[in-house]
Amino acid sequence: MRQLGIALTLIALTACNPTAHPVIDTPDETPLILIANVPEQSWNDLKSETQRVNKDGFRAHVRFADGRKFLGADETRLREAFDPEAVSVIFAADLLTFQHPNRPVIAIDPGGEIPSFRVRLRDLWIIENNVSIGNVLFEEFAEGQVVDGWFVGMDEM
């Protein structure tokens, strides 16, 4: 059983290695939407940070929606823009994302049934990697690992 776990970990690490698999903007990736009016460089910096592989070899696999179409959008408008059958979570970068040192992104349930919560940019991969494949449901994160509207992450678990 331990060997199987090690093999699966190696597969996961290989799949998340951007040198092995170049980042491709596909409809299958989770959307990260810019909803704040910020300088282009600030958004580019956030995108770069999002794509950075962490020390364990993981990163969030997202597609960036950075046109002016969603500036100022609220959660309802974002939910309306995406088919809840096609995406398992919607991420949004608002003004707080750019002002707070932990870069908290809003994680939104596309179906609108589960309250949204903040997730630090460095922990975005935890939500995306698990929810996108159905390993953990959005609801399970929201109910079990969110305190005062913030995902507590791996450090506090």
The ranges assigned to domains in the chain are 28-151
pTM of the predicted model, to two decimals? 0.80
Provide the pLDDT for residue 26.
40
103-114 pLDDT per residue, tens: 999 999 999 999
Strands 146-147 and 150-151: antiparallel
Instruction: Assign domain 28-151 one CATH number from 2.40.10.350, 3.30.70.1170, 3.40.50.800, 3.30.750.200.
Output: 3.40.50.800
pLDDT given for residue 155 in this prediction: 60
Q: Whole-number mean pLDDT of the chain? A: 82
Chunk the chain into consecutive blocks of 10 residues (it has 157) and report each block's average pLDDT, rounded to whole numbers: 33 36 49 96 96 93 88 95 92 97 96 95 94 92 91 69
Chain length of the chain: 157
